[in-house]
Amino acid sequence: MNILEICIWVSSLSFLGYVASYFTSPHMKSEFVRFGLEKFGLLTILLQIAGSVGLLIGLIYNPILVISSLGLALLMLLGFIVRIKIKDSVLASSPALFYMILNAFIFLESVK
């Protein structure tokens, strides 16, 4: 397994874990309220499901990897911007930044 495949698995499983916690933890839904995005919680989760499954499909079919990694990178960019806008700490904002960079790396490697 190469570094790109490891990154794909880490990102995909992390997003699927976040999705699971959205449906099992009241805290996750309350975070969307805190962000002022309660209307977009389910849409965000659906995009994360599509992106994480797309990353795994992308292990076989590269065009899906390109689309999924770019989509997740953009989603995390927006998440990072929201965290800055609501004045979260750098530490609280760092997961969004990390996953934005991780998926940007996957995207850049998949278009080579």
Q: Where in the sequence is the domain holding 37, given as residue range(s)?
A: 3-110
Q: How far is CA 26 from CA 12, 46, 74, 83, 84, in A?
A: 22, 17, 25, 19, 23
Closest to 29 (Cα-Cα) out of 12, 16, 45:
45
**pLDDT, tens digit (0-9, with 9 covering 90-100), for 1-40:** 899 999 999 999 999 999 999 999 999 889 999 999 989 9
Intra-chain end-to-end CA distance of the chain, in Å: 18
Percent residues over pLDDT 70 in the chain: 100
On average, the pLDDT of the chain sits at: 96
> What pLDDT shows up at residue 98?
98
Residue 1: its pLDDT value, please? 86
Q: How confident is the model at residue 63 (pLDDT cuts 50, 70, 90)?
A: very high
Cα–Cα separations (whole angstroms), residue 66 to 43, 55, 63, 91, 106:
21, 8, 5, 29, 8
User: What does pTM read for this prediction?
Assistant: 0.94
Amino acid at position 8, single letter: I
- Asked if 110 contacts 66 with a C-beta cutoff of 8 angstroms, the reply is yes
Domain count for the chain: 1
